Amino acid sequence: MKADIYYFSATGNSLTTAKMLADCLGDGSECIPVASLPKTGTISVDATAVGFVFPVYYGDMPYILREAVGRMDFSGSPYIFCVPTYRGHQGAAAQRLNQLLRGRGQKLSLSWGVPMPGNSRLTSAQEAAEMLSLQPERVQEAAKHISAMEVSDYDAAEPLEATRVDKPCNFRGIKADENCTGCGLCVSVCPMDNINLQEGKALFGDNCITCLSCFHWCPVEAIYMSLDESIARRFKYRHPNVTSEDIAAQKRQS
């Protein structure tokens, strides 16, 4: 099955999942980073099979993907699937995506999640190692169901409530401390261009989707990820097969 797979990734979980999935589906399936799509105007989608791979935040889709889907113009009636990556649970991410697609005259046919180490919720080293070792198998399982073009119903019985990530906002209070060296790595990996360097220090705006890419890729651990002190300085997580350049490249690919 040839599919266009739109993905967003902050720490590499969804990036590697999207690439594995494209390899499993074959037939020239292509991975398209959502951060590289035009920021305004209609996004034309003409594939006969369309996938979305993304991390689950607060039981919801990342805002950057939500906003892009809202501007997509689909040709015909493609088979549409999603493969959320998640640490705790998938929440209503599939129902949210289906709701957005319904607004574009389409529907979600299948959602098949892949558990992965969390970039917010804590994951022990043993749990992370197990999840990473099972990732290829779980992606292959997802590909099997997608290739069979299975269909499920994702219409929500009741209207979905707004979540904390339904619009950009730095509600976590993400900021850099005095250890910031002004290297600019956080600027390069931020998908929303929400970080600027002023007087050699990283300054965060409010156009934040709480992806925590800045936190996990900071080379000197100068960034607080939360107002909650119990996790504000939690250990960093990056997928072992992904580099900061891979994350930054999402904004440049087309």
User: CA separation (Å) from 79 to 107, 112, 147?
Assistant: 8, 14, 10
State pLDDT tens for residues 82-117: 999 999 889 999 999 999 999 999 999 999 999 999
In angstroms and rounded to an integer, the radius of gyration of the C-alpha atoms of the chain is 18
- Which pLDDT band holds residue 228 (cuts at 50, 70, 90)? confident
Residues in CB range of 2: below 8 A, 6 or more apart:
25, 26, 27, 28, 29, 47, 48, 49
DSSP E strand stretches across the chain: 4-7, 30-33, 43-45, 49-55, 72-74, 79-86, 110-111, 114-115, 175-176, 195-198, 201-204, 223-224
- Summarize pLDDT for 42-71 with one digit per residue, the tens: 999 999 999 999 999 999 999 999 999 999
Mean pLDDT of the chain: 95
A 10 A CB-CB count for 43 gives 17
pLDDT band at 26 (very low <50, low <70, confident <90, very high): very high
The per-residue pLDDT for 234 is: 81
Nearest residue to 53 via CA among 25, 76, 28, 74: 25
pLDDT higher than 60, residue 32: yes
Mean pLDDT on 19-26? 98
Which residues on neighbouring strands pair with residue 83, listed in sequence order?
53
Q: Residue 254: pLDDT band by 50, 70, 90 thresholds?
A: low
Half-sphere exposure of 137 (CA within 13 A, CB side): 6
Query: How far is residue 93's CA from residue 13's CA, in Å, rounded to a whole number?
Result: 17
Judging by DSSP bridges, how do beta strands 110-111 and 79-86 pair with one another?
parallel
> Residue 199 — very low, low, confident or very high, per pLDDT cuts 50/70/90?
very high
253 confidence band (pLDDT: 50, 70, 90): low
Q: Which domains does the chain have, with CATH numbers?
A: 4-147 (3.40.50.360), 175-251 (3.30.70.20)
Would you state the pLDDT for residue 88?
A: 87
What's the CA gap between 194 and 203, in Å, rounded? Answer: 8
Q: Average of pLDDT values for 170-193?
A: 95
Spatial distance between the Cα atoms of 45 and 25, rounded to a whole number of angstroms:
19
Q: Tell me the percentage of the chain whose pLDDT exceeds 90.
A: 88
pLDDT at 190 over 60: yes
* CA–CA distance, 214 with 186 (Å, rounded to integer): 5
pTM score of the predicted model: 0.96
> Poorest-confidence range of 34-43, 113-122, 208-217?
113-122
- The whole-number pLDDT of residue 153 equals 97
Residue in the structure block whose two tokens are 């790595």: 185
Q: What pLDDT is stored for residue 141 in this prediction?
A: 98
Amino acid letter, 135: Q
User: 52: closest CA among 76, 34, 70, 39?
Assistant: 34
Digit-coded pLDDT (tens) for 116-171: 999 888 888 999 999 999 999 999 999 999 999 999 999 988 889 999 999 999 99
